[in-house]
Chains A and B, each alone.
Chain A
Amino acid sequence: MNMNEKAARAKKINHAIKIAILIVLFVCFIFPFILVVINVFKVKADITTNPLALIGEHGFTMQNFPEAMKKMDFWRSFANSACITIFSTIFTILLSSMAAFVIVRNKWKACGILFGLMIASMVIPFQVLMIPLVSLYGGILGILNHRATLIFMHVGFSLSMATFMFHGAINTNVPVSLEEAATIDGCTRWSTYWQIVFPLLKPTIATVAIIDAMAFWNDYLLPSLVLAKKELYTIPIATQVFYGTYSTDIGLVMAALLLAMLPILILYVFLQRYIVEGVTSGAVK
């Protein structure tokens, strides 16, 4: 029995060490966020003298929030971000799943060319396209500074990845026999798609929605090139502009950073399981 006891003890110690390492790493990981949270409730002078203190000498203040909100026009940029994210995500899902359906089910030349180009385009980084994009849409067409233009571009950039994922899902999860049965019952291809295929794609729709919505919400470079007017700013642009103007007013900066993070963190609390699963299954494909 001595051997077993020893082994059990070694296992327990092993377990304790692992948990200890994890806790230390975890604290390191969220340390920057903790700092922001403790400093957001301090006045500027207290942050400058000691950013590590839990509560400043001048005490607890809520003053930073309303001022930062007003100065970065938080609700307007929040609305812009939300509107752009929601519409871009919806259009991406509808368009890419439809295209994937016609590509998977037909061996036509056009399908092969489209899908081949999409796969090839996934290696092109945005930086290679940003200059011609500004030149085409700004210089020649003159349609920058519209939310619709940004949504159009977001959709265009995310289509290939999304189509690729729906392609895999239709291939493996949607039996052809089901579609044949629908055809016999009098469905056209169009109604077969909406009534049979699209509902079967729910898990992939969730994955694509999560990955793309997060990317759209956080994107900075593309929106900053498309939206140059103050009333069109999304949250990342508003944060960047705000920092440029008020970087010395550190209390306000803390509040602005926390405000910029808050919407997605609140969402994460509720959808945490789906987000982690969605990102994993999206990445593994």
Chain B
Amino acid sequence: MKTNTMSYKCRQFAMFAGVTTVVFAAVVIVPFLYGLYLTFTSWDGVSKDKPFVGLLNYASTFGDAAYWQALGRTFIYSAIAVILVNVVAFVLAFLVTSGVKGQNFFRAGFFIPNLIGGIVLGYIWKFVFNRAFVALGNALSIGFLSTSWLATTGGAMLCLIIVSVWQYAGYMMLIYVAGFMSVSADVLEAAQIDGCTNMQTLVHISVPLMASSFVQCLFLTVTRCFMVYDVNLSLTNGEPFNSSVMAAMHVYNQAFTYKNYGTGQAEALILFIVCAVVGVLQVYVGKKAEVSA
């Protein structure tokens, strides 16, 4: 059988990748391009025709103060959450790779929040913040605990950050654990013989050799925090007074609640570009810091 004819190639490709190509195109490529088109229309989600409005949606995006506030809020939230998630995850990874008893048990335990969807996690923490902390505050008469943090504007953001750190730390811990394991014992031993303290070994040997783990964790946390939606919806739902509406939630409301599909899509696109730029920049800077043993 001839294997370099066009018809053979086409049949092989269709046999193995045909369905994949169709499904992938139908769910990702076509909607993406169609989304670009939607940003130039003012579709209301119901009517058959989609009037062409040119750049009007982008103009109204730039005039949408609530959107820029949400985006700024997402920046602040992401910056704090990303740093805290990685600090906590790194400390956890350090502790569960230092040879203590039951470290596999701890690894599995810290990972539990990742098994459960954001919606359920948000409701659980809503109960913790609204009821348990308040009850604790009243019982021990601790002032700052006796009212729910979720009811204050700054507090709601704080709650969101706490839950995100709790949710993602276990997952990032696993990546750092893999990083710690990849540092070879020879190098560590050599450092010990040269008189390094444990701390010096960690800072000067392990951390530089784990640079790729940091790049990966930062990228994952940045993209996840930027696109936070589930926990935002179940924990705060944007309240109080829309002070905790993150960018993704704003986009959702713009499209599906206020029926401004065109503007919503334009805002989603800008959010994506901002997120992609931050993510790529971060990977680029991180890759430069990588060293090899």
Which residues of A does B touch, CB under 8 Å? 15, 18-19, 21-22, 25-26, 29-33, 35-36, 39, 47-48, 50-52, 95-96, 98-99, 101-103, 106, 108, 110-111, 114, 117-118, 121, 123-136, 139, 152-153, 155-157, 159-160, 163, 189-190, 193, 214, 217-221, 225, 236, 239-240, 243, 250, 253-254, 257, 260-261, 264-265, 268, 272, 275-276, 279-280, 283-284
Contacting residue for B112 out of A18, A33, A156, CB 8 A: A33
Quick one: which of B181-226 are within 8 Å of A by CB?
A: 216, 220, 223, 226
Q: How far apart are the CA atoms of A57 and B166 in the complex, in Å?
A: 32
Q: How far apart are the CA atoms of A2 and B41 in the complex, in Å?
A: 82
Stretch in contact with the other chain, from B61-69, B90-98, B152-160: B90-98
Contacting residue for A283 out of B17, B174, B256, CB 8 A: B174
Q: Shortest beta-carbon distance, A243 to chain B, in Å?
A: 6
The answer, yes or no, to whether B38 is at the interface (CB within 8 Å) is yes
Assess whether A189 is in contact with B12, with CB atoms less than 8 Å apart.
yes
Query: Scoring B residues 3 to 20 as 1 if CB is less than 8 Å from chain A, else 0, what string do you get?
Result: 000000100110111011
Assess whether A36 is in contact with B124, with CB atoms less than 8 Å apart.
yes
Q: Shortest beta-carbon distance, A25 to chain B, in Å?
A: 7
Q: How far apart are the CA atoms of A160 and B23 in the complex, in Å?
A: 11
The answer, yes or no, to whether B40 is at the interface (CB within 8 Å) is no
- Nearest A-chain residue to B255, judged by Cβ: A131
Assess whether B17 is in contact with A114, with CB atoms less than 8 Å apart.
yes
Q: Shortest beta-carbon distance, A140 to chain B, in Å?
A: 9
List 10 interface pairs A-B (beta carbons < 8 Å), by A numbering.
A21-B95, A33-B124, A39-B127, A99-B21, A128-B271, A153-B27, A159-B23, A240-B234, A279-B174, A284-B216
Q: Shortest beta-carbon distance, B255 to chain A, in Å?
A: 5
Q: Shortest beta-carbon distance, A99 to chain B, in Å?
A: 4
Assess whether B32 is in contact with A125, with CB atoms less than 8 Å apart.
no
Query: Scoring B residues 251 to 272 as 1 if CB is less than 8 Å from chain A, else 0, what string do you get?
Result: 1100110000100110011011
Contacting residue for A99 out of B17, B216, B255, CB 8 A: B17
Assess whether A260 is in contact with B12, with CB atoms less than 8 Å apart.
no
Given the interface pairs A128-B35, A157-B27, the reply to whether A32 lies near B13 with Cβ below 8 Å is: no
- Nearest B-chain residue to A215, judged by Cβ: B117
Contacting residue for A243 out of B125, B174, B234, B261, CB 8 A: B234
Contacts of B170 in A (CB 8 A): 29
Q: Shortest beta-carbon distance, A119 to chain B, in Å?
A: 12
Which residues of B does A touch, CB under 8 Å? 9, 12-13, 15-17, 19-21, 23-24, 26-32, 34-35, 38, 43, 45, 92, 95-96, 98, 100-101, 106-120, 123-125, 127-128, 131-132, 135-136, 139, 166, 170-171, 174-175, 177-178, 216, 220, 223, 226-227, 229-230, 233-234, 248, 251-252, 255-256, 261, 264-265, 268-269, 271-272, 275-276, 279
Assess whether B175 is in contact with A152, with CB atoms less than 8 Å apart.
no
Given the interface pairs A132-B32, A280-B174, the reply to whether A220 lies near B230 with Cβ below 8 Å is: yes
Assess whether A163 is in contact with B92, with CB atoms less than 8 Å apart.
no
Assess whether A280 is in contact with B106, with CB atoms less than 8 Å apart.
no
Contacts of A153 in B (CB 8 A): 27
Contacts A51-B131, A131-B261, A283-B174 supplied; 14 other A-B pairs, CB < 8 Å: A18-B98, A29-B166, A30-B112, A48-B131, A52-B136, A102-B13, A106-B9, A123-B276, A128-B35, A130-B268, A214-B115, A265-B115, A276-B111, A280-B177
Interface of A is mostly: helix
- Nearest A-chain residue to B15, judged by Cβ: A190
Contacting residue for B45 out of A99, A139, A156, CB 8 A: A139
Q: Shortest beta-carbon distance, A72 to chain B, in Å?
A: 12
Contacts of B127 in A (CB 8 A): 32, 35-36, 39, 51, 250, 253-254, 257
Contacts of B118 in A (CB 8 A): 218, 220
Contacting residue for B34 out of A18, A30, A135, A157, CB 8 A: A135
- Nearest A-chain residue to B139, judged by Cβ: A52
Contacting residue for B120 out of A123, A139, A260, A279, CB 8 A: A260
Contacts of A260 in B (CB 8 A): 116-117, 120
Given the interface pairs A98-B16, A127-B252, the reply to whether A135 lies near B38 with Cβ below 8 Å is: yes
